[in-house]
Structure 1
Amino acid sequence: MPNIRITKAYEKYKGKPRTVAGPSRTLNVHKFAESRASELESLHSILKERLSNDFRSQRSKRRRTTGHDNRVAKGRVRKKQKSGEENLNKPDYLKNDKKTLPRHVRRRLELKKNSLNGFSTSGDGTKRLRTHLWHAKRFTMTKLWGFYLPLGVQGRGRGSRALLKKLKGGVLVHDASYCSAVQLNLYDMVIHIFFQDLLLSILKTVLVPSPCSHCEDSRNDILSGAIYGSAELHHVGATFAKTVAPVTYMWQPQQCRKADAKVDHADICGEQQKVDGCASLRRLWVWIHAAAFIEGYNALQNACERQVDAAGSRVSCISLEDHLGRLEVIGSRASKLLQKILHPATCSSVNSSLVKYESYIKNEDQILSSAIFSLSVDDPRFLNKDIPDALEVKAQDILSYKKDENGGNGTPKRDMKLRSCSSVEREGTYGLSECIDLWDAKEGIDPPIEENILCMEKHHQRMELFRIGDMKSGRQQSSVERRSSRFCPILLLKNDNHKTSIIRWSIILPLCWIKVFWIALVTNGAQAIGLREKRWIACDLGLPCFPREFPDSNAYSCFMSLEEAAYDEKSELRSPPTRTWKVPVSSPWDSVRLGLEGLSGVGHGRMQHEQLSPNDTSYSRRCITDTESSCSAPFEGFVARTSYVLSQFLDEISDSHLLLFPKVLDRTKCISKFMKDERLLNEDTDRAIYQINRDQKPCFVRVLLHAYREGSFEEGAVVCAPHIDDVMLFTARSDISKGELQVPESFVRSCFSQQATGKWEFQVPEDPAAKESYRLPIGFITTGFVRGSKKLVAVALCEAVCLAHLREEQWKAVGVRKRRKEIYVLVRNLRSTAYRLALASIVLEQWEDDVECL
């Protein structure tokens, strides 16, 4: 009874509001510092002498596993390292000293440097990214394409579920500085129109699709520098054969060029910088992946040497490999993170309307896909949490974009332009500064302020807060001989398009500024990813990943040869009883020829490789170039990644009746129309299909595979052509026994045999049971299922004519109402005996092109 009363009294007291005021949240220390200034100065002088004027965090006090170790030998090593750091700053130290520093000391000092251009290299010449030290502590590193690159987080290669969750609810960042740009420009004083036509003629010979093939509005926006373009790079004269790499190209904006004029730009320090603008110096950047940079540079240089205008002017090809870097920011909250970090540099003496990047982020629906923004932003290390509201202005003060009235299908209008840089400068805004600084990256851009100087400045600020010491003398000591800047020119690329719902941004900036922005992105919530995680994201978004999904390139052959060597080395470490039978790491694409021959009743026995006749068409021949490396193997066929190329292939073989739909703009309605028309399917088409493909090289298209009911598709799995009875068996019955559509295990072990040359070939089985159950291959999976993804989609390359034949056969077997746009195929993992039914969707039937690459 007393306990109940106490409880009720406590509850009654608990409900009453408390009136006791808490202590003040703000404490003014200036009056205390003034009264005890002498005491604080004496304490500061004692600490200064004890720390030798080095106020950085002591290494022994850091949370490290060896922080407690204070042995005498360790102290000597620390002294040697410290003396090495001090002496290494002297230019003639290494020349005069016979005993060089240890390797780990030299490497640490080299990685701490922030040179204007280039990468630090190891002893064998392998380059290290500017973020190498950050990645090496957290990621598994691999030597690839001449770089030490982060493969993925430490572990067994899992974590895709958490990564995709972060993609949809957070931000991911990837250092893509291994991709480099090639600059095309002309130094002769010629008219700008002729120079633009000369560049367009060069790009037309090596790019598919070329800028001239776009619609008028898109072409004008690309040429004006408002948006960038994506295409495939080929060798000259082989635009429909072997691929070099997918590229991104962008023009120098027209508003940043002024013929025979000098424009004065007032920077933050009040200095005047005069930049000469010349109409003939409009440049073009072509971004190429590191796996094919040398080959791509040679292809562009060869095209420039062949193309010369009537006046004899020639376009020069310059490599920017060691001057520019690139950061990829991906995720649903990527725009908010950039809004927090990127603040356009403004002059403190200007009180007019100031441009802030938030105006662009808040109006994403008014920004073009593939848009380019030229900004000069503040050093993110100097940003304050409290940004003045005066920087916020409306986006329509800078952009004059108009929304698409037709539903926003991604097609830009002609009146969507950026205002000229001159009008922006006259209004006193420096946020959209001219991109001429970054486009002159070859001449050098001032690096950021060094970390030790920033630490000293922060220390002086703390001393100023407590009113200790002589502030003027301290600030004079912070000046350095090396020229530095607090502002960085960047190019911001928006990668949002109608194919994916995830927003992607690319930041192009000087190489010496990479580390500064990387730390700012990571510390503000972005999660770093490596090559493995990037591939997961590409598969989840339905985008191709270079070079794994480009078997018609030399980069694919070289990459797969390295993968196969690593696989063999790993298998040799196992004992013979625990080893699994060997399967081809690089898919044997030549075996698809057997599927084509199977349509005409040929293809018995081992697959034979036929030599091409001299009068083969451009689609049948293979372009042999001097740039092909020794590791490249011939790829029998080509991959169509644009509707134009696929249409040209169909016209070349005079097979427009094939059930492939790359031409019509509204492809969904077109396919639906064909599905409901029974007159289009007659018996004469089969005979034409069989006769054509026997002498033609295979044409591959990229397809997206979804499991019909069950199954997990792995990389390298073979895609086979099912019989119509197989499709009926899988679709008609609700429960299928596991043994109804399987091949013997002996056939699984011997279906692909490796020859003495290292090449894999498909073996037609001789066993009667295997003959009855095996199916002809029509393609291979390049990217398997990503664990944790809700889409569960795999990416494969399949032969186009075989897909058309399967679609026709399946449409004939069912009624009009049961026909589907997707095509039924069978998928079998290389070490599995069971076939799984899958639905294949052709990408070129959904989009006009498939050249965009992650």
Structure 2
Amino acid sequence: MPPKRKNDESNLELTARERKKLKVADARTIAVQPVASGSGSGAANSGNAVAGSSKTIVRFDTMQGLPASIDVERFTEARAYEIDAMQKAIKTAGESSTHRAWQTLPRHLRRRAASHDVRRVPVGLREKARAEMDPMRRKTSGRPKRGKANQISRTEALLRRQRDKTWLETHIWHAKRAKMENMWGYRLAVTPTEKAFRPSHRASVHGSILHDASYYAIIELKGPQTLLQAALEGCCDPQGSGMKRCITGGRACETHIYKHDSYPFDLIGPITIIWQPLSPESKSTPPSEPPGKSVKRKGKGKGKQIDTSTSPGPAETSRVIWVRAHPAIFEDVFEALQTSASHALQAKKEKDPEAHATIEIADLRGCINAFEIMGPKSSQVIKGALSPAGGEDREDFKKFWESLSDLQTPGNIPRGMVIGLKVLDPRLKFPPKNAKPYYPDPTQPTTHPSPAFIFPSALTAQSEIWDAEKRGGLKKPKYKKKDIDERRAKNLVPGTPLNPLRQDDRIPILLIQRSLEPCPPSSSTSASISNNSQGIHGWTLLFPAGWSMPFLTSLVYTGTRIAGQRERTKQFFEAGVPGFPMDYPTLSVYDATSKERAENARQRWERTPPAKKPNYEKLGTRSPWSADWAVVLGLEKPKSRDDAGEEEGLVSTQRENPPDSTAMQVDSPNSAPRPWLLRGPKVPSLLSGAFITPVQFLGEINKLRVRHHMPALDISVRADDLMKTALVMMRTKMIGRGAPSDLANIYKMDDVEARKWIKAFSKKGAARLGDTSDLSEHDLGEIKPAQEDVVGYVTTGDVSLVRGEGFAIGAIPLMQYLALRKQAQRSVRYWRRPVHCLTSSLSNPPGFPNLPSL
């Protein structure tokens, strides 16, 4: 028997493990009825025991003495002790078990909820788990009972949870493996639950990483080609390179969209334009829609027809384009396209009153899904997981698909190249295998063509995904996963792919080359990019709705990691490309995001003890929670302490001005200068002049507007105000240690202080050669800059894993940039004197930003 008291003297010598073993052994021991002394017991055991001995000897070698019949009642009464002992032993042995049912599972199958929910345990162990559960807990763990009239299905229960947001098709899969948040009307994955910061970066640089971008909105425009071009020219960035070469459909164009006829003001955000390629037989045929008939679109959104009239003539070619935009700016993009299309139709009608045309705009949200697969191994992953359907007779596509496994990186093929194809159900090929690159003998001629020599064309971009009827027919797969698994179970050799049947689905898809880099390699500004910058390349996979999970399971099985919003933002940061919307100041989306972030940062600061947080009042920080771009541009004056107190809810002691005071009169918002962001691939060349005046800058802007058939800016827009209110994006790096953070201040310095910094860094390099000096950069760092010297803010800053040092993306006023560039030129002349020498060569002097990008 185990000890019953903790303080028992016999218990002090035993360890906890020994006491547990004794307890388990005692619970598993069956009690035996003791032998009683006396004639009664001797008479009872006379046939089987030998008296006169200290031990009882039981004989099993004889059948003598057994009765011919047994009385059941008397036999049960005689064996009542043994039966009761057996029942108690069974009960105690079960209760003293060291492992419960859910604890016997492998660690990757254990769930915390399995301890109180039988449905979390595999089917084979549910009976044992149900017996181990407490009856009261078992009663409360089940679902509440409902009447038959009030019972709801699982589908209805899940739809109720999507009243104020939308779930992607991969939501349940991501919800089990990532942290989810509500963003832009969707429930999206923010970051994986596992530690995946550095592994995700390595996957984007050396492997492959996948992000479900199905929340991006797609707007379809259909109409005559000339009118569609005019509509895009009225609202797209005039600097956008490649607009004309993308009309064939072989390339996708990445540009920015503005409000109609408002360039360079009223920037909305970045968009991607894809033209439907024309088939060879449809180039000379008129549109198939009858005259005057309105076309209705299927999907989540409703089609909107700008003008209903007769169809265009045979000379006009009807085209279809897709515009992919961020969900935060969907309404603004849709309105801008609608307004621009209306003006294009009006201009067409004024030019030729007898001509009639139609432009249809439709919302395709929920009709087309998208995956972003980034990394050098993304090509091998796509080829290993997908299989083209038979009957493909395009020679260029065959060459491209054969050479896809040998592609070292998707950046080797033309930027924005579009590939259209039809693939089999990826579940038929499960489990997939990555395509291995082929390394031929360099001395032998290779027969595999390089995909870099395949030129984008309309023939390689042909796909049936543009057809709404075929997309609707694929909304729901014909076979469920259960049916596919039953077919796979009948294979004689496990793991072999299934042979496609005639009834299996063939899914049309689009592959679009995607690159994240500061500017195209062919641009004239590539020399200004830092040598250690590295672009990230991959593919954008477009496919019909309803097929996210079949594609996701096959792509993830190949070893591809999953990226959330944090990992996708870091891809932009490591590539040196501003991400939307956090790196787009002066936009309404940026203002809403920064306001929410400022409120969260302020609440976190208020919860922090005073000894653990900075005192911004003593430090003199003007705006610790958000960037005051209007003050940096000089459009507003810094807020005083009294004004700040009034905003926080404090009552000001100053007497207010009377209502009829002239000090209360301010300019209207339309007449007041407004800040705007200068973006585009030609910004570095636009500002490359040694000396640019406001008049010259206004002339360059008007040239870009005229190129897109837009009138020059109004006379009310003064050249000085245009240049004064402009912001440019910039990339900065840390010369020494440290890393900038978000909302870090960017200060300016005079020539004297700049020369001191240059001398300090020069002496730091010369000290290694034996030169000593009392000038230290630490002493210069102790100088407290004034808040009036703030010329910009960092929008995204952190330690760059690619560069191995602090890196930041920010914005400064255009006037300040020109002033800093002149100061840098003066400092370079001083910096290059023979007296001062550096051990390393730098592309820019310390403390000065690089050329603006994009």
Does the alignment reach a TM-score above 0.5? yes
CA–CA separation in structure 1 for the residues paired with 2:176 and 2:670: 57
> Rg bigger for which structure?
2
Report what 1:451 is aligned to: 481
Report what 1:302 is aligned to: 339
Q: Tell me if 1:783 matches 2:796.
A: yes
| SS of residue matched to 1:150 | strand
| SS of residue matched to 2:371 | strand
CA–CA separation in structure 2 for the residues paired with 1:76 and 1:260: 75
Shifted more, 576-585 versus 69-78: the winner is 69-78
Report what 1:184 is aligned to: 221
CA–CA separation in structure 1 for the residues paired with 2:721 and 2:400: 62
1:809-854 Cα offsets, whole Å, 9 max, x none, are 3323452883999666xxxxxxxxxxxx63411234xxxxx2xxxx
Report what 1:566 is aligned to: 600
CA–CA separation in structure 1 for the residues paired with 2:103 and 2:470: 38
CA contact (8 A) 1:234 1:244 kept: yes
**Aligned residue identity for 2:798:** F
CA contact (8 A) 2:373 2:538 kept: yes
Quote the sequence identity (%): 18
Report what 1:320 is aligned to: 364
Q: Tell me if 1:97 matches 2:141.
A: no
Cα distance, 1:560 vs structure 2: 1.9
Cα distance, 1:339 vs structure 2: 1.9
Report what 1:759 is aligned to: none
CA spacing shift, 1:596–1:515, aligned 2, 3 Å? same
| SS of residue matched to 1:495 | strand
Q: Tell me if 1:224 matches 2:270.
A: no
CA–CA separation in structure 1 for the residues paired with 2:425 and 2:587: 40
CA spacing shift, 1:82–1:614, aligned 2, 3 Å? closer
CA–CA separation in structure 2 for the residues paired with 1:388 and 1:697: 54
Report what 1:736 is aligned to: 776
Report what 1:245 is aligned to: 269
* 1:487 aligned to which of 503, 506, 521: 506
CA contact (8 A) 2:256 2:270 kept: yes
**Aligned residue identity for 1:546:** F
Report what 1:638 is aligned to: 677
CA–CA separation in structure 2 for the residues paired with 1:507 and 1:697: 42
Report what 1:292 is aligned to: 329
**Aligned residue identity for 2:728:** V
CA–CA separation in structure 1 for the residues paired with 2:140 and 2:606: 43
CA contact (8 A) 1:782 1:797 kept: yes
CA contact (8 A) 2:425 2:507 kept: yes
Equivalent positions of 1:258-407 (< 5 A) are: 258=282, 259-260=284-285, 280-308=317-345, 309-310=348-349, 311-347=355-391, 357-362=401-406, 367-383=413-429, 402=453
Report what 2:847 is aligned to: 838
CA spacing shift, 1:80–1:206, aligned 2, 3 Å? farther
Cα distance, 1:641 vs structure 2: 3.0
CA spacing shift, 1:779–1:375, aligned 2, 3 Å? same
CA contact (8 A) 2:465 2:471 kept: no
Report what 1:200 is aligned to: 229
**Aligned residue identity for 2:749:** P
CA–CA separation in structure 2 for the residues paired with 1:175 and 1:609: 51
| SS of residue matched to 1:781 | strand
Q: Tell me if 1:125 matches 2:146.
A: no
| SS of residue matched to 1:456 | helix
CA–CA separation in structure 1 for the residues paired with 2:446 and 2:389: 17
Cα distance, 1:796 vs structure 2: 0.9
CA spacing shift, 1:507–1:438, aligned 2, 3 Å? farther
Contiguous gaps of at least 5 residues in structure 1: 1-57, 85-93, 111-119, 187-194, 264-277, 404-415, 422-431, 466-474, 623-635, 664-690, 745-769, 825-836, 845-849
**Aligned residue identity for 2:596:** L
Report what 2:178 is aligned to: 139
| SS of residue matched to 1:532 | helix
**Aligned residue identity for 1:173:** L
Report what 1:699 is aligned to: 726
CA–CA separation in structure 1 for the residues paired with 2:735 and 2:556: 40
Could you state the TM-score of these two structures normalised by the residue count of structure 1? 0.61
**Aligned residue identity for 1:452:** K
Equivalent positions of 1:718-757 (< 5 A) are: 718-733=745-760, 734=764, 736=776, 738-742=778-782
Report what 2:43 is aligned to: none
Report what 1:530 is aligned to: 564
* 1:717 aligned to which of 736, 744, 750: 744
Report what 2:767 is aligned to: none
CA contact (8 A) 2:204 2:376 kept: yes
CA spacing shift, 1:77–1:227, aligned 2, 3 Å? farther
CA–CA separation in structure 2 for the residues paired with 1:251 and 1:606: 52
CA contact (8 A) 2:379 2:404 kept: no
Higher RCO, 1 vs 2 (CA within 8 Å, ≥6 residues apart): 1
1:121-173 Cα offsets, whole Å, 9 max, x none, are 72542111111112111211111100111111237xx7543332222221111
**Aligned residue identity for 1:492:** L
Equivalent positions of 1:452-851 (< 5 A) are: 452-461=482-491, 485-496=504-515, 498=521, 500-571=534-605, 574=608, 581=615, 584-594=624-634, 621-622=673-674, 636-643=675-682, 647=686, 653-655=694-696, 697-733=724-760, 734=764, 736=776, 738-742=778-782, 776-786=789-799, 788-792=801-805, 793-815=807-829, 818=832, 838-844=847-853, 850=854
CA–CA separation in structure 2 for the residues paired with 1:331 and 1:557: 32
CA–CA separation in structure 1 for the residues paired with 2:681 and 2:667: 25
CA–CA separation in structure 2 for the residues paired with 1:418 and 1:164: 33
CA–CA separation in structure 1 for the residues paired with 2:286 and 2:465: 14
1:524-559 Cα offsets, whole Å, 9 max, x none, are 111111111111111110111000011122111122
Cα distance, 1:594 vs structure 2: 4.2
Report what 1:53 is aligned to: none
CA contact (8 A) 2:249 2:457 kept: no
CA contact (8 A) 1:822 1:840 kept: no
1:392-418 Cα offsets, whole Å, 9 max, x none, are 9x9999999858xxxxxxxxxxxx453
Cα distance, 1:455 vs structure 2: 2.2
CA–CA separation in structure 1 for the residues paired with 2:364 and 2:201: 34
Number of aligned positions between the proteins: 609
Contiguous gaps of at least 5 residues in structure 2: 1-101, 115-120, 289-313, 350-354, 439-444, 527-533, 617-622, 645-662, 705-717, 765-774, 834-840
**Aligned residue identity for 1:794:** A
CA spacing shift, 1:400–1:739, aligned 2, 3 Å? closer
| SS of residue matched to 1:798 | strand
CA contact (8 A) 1:401 1:417 kept: no
CA spacing shift, 1:816–1:254, aligned 2, 3 Å? farther
Cα distance, 1:657 vs structure 2: 13
**Aligned residue identity for 1:222:** C
CA contact (8 A) 2:431 2:554 kept: no
CA–CA separation in structure 2 for the residues paired with 1:788 and 1:615: 45
**Aligned residue identity for 1:548:** M
CA contact (8 A) 1:596 1:802 kept: no
CA–CA separation in structure 2 for the residues paired with 1:137 and 1:806: 50
Shifted more, 493-502 versus 781-790: the winner is 493-502
Cα distance, 1:799 vs structure 2: 1.4
Report what 1:152 is aligned to: 191
CA–CA separation in structure 1 for the residues paired with 2:391 and 2:136: 50
Equivalent positions of 1:5-84 (< 5 A) are: 63-65=109-111, 66=114, 67=121, 70-71=129-130
Cα distance, 1:358 vs structure 2: 3.2
CA–CA separation in structure 2 for the residues paired with 1:743 and 1:610: 40
| SS of residue matched to 2:550 | helix
CA–CA separation in structure 2 for the residues paired with 1:222 and 1:337: 27
CA–CA separation in structure 1 for the residues paired with 2:238 and 2:450: 28
CA spacing shift, 1:339–1:298, aligned 2, 3 Å? same
Q: Tell me if 1:164 matches 2:201.
A: yes
CA–CA separation in structure 2 for the residues paired with 1:230 and 1:486: 32
Q: RMSD value over aligned CA atoms?
A: 5.1
CA–CA separation in structure 1 for the residues paired with 2:594 and 2:668: 30
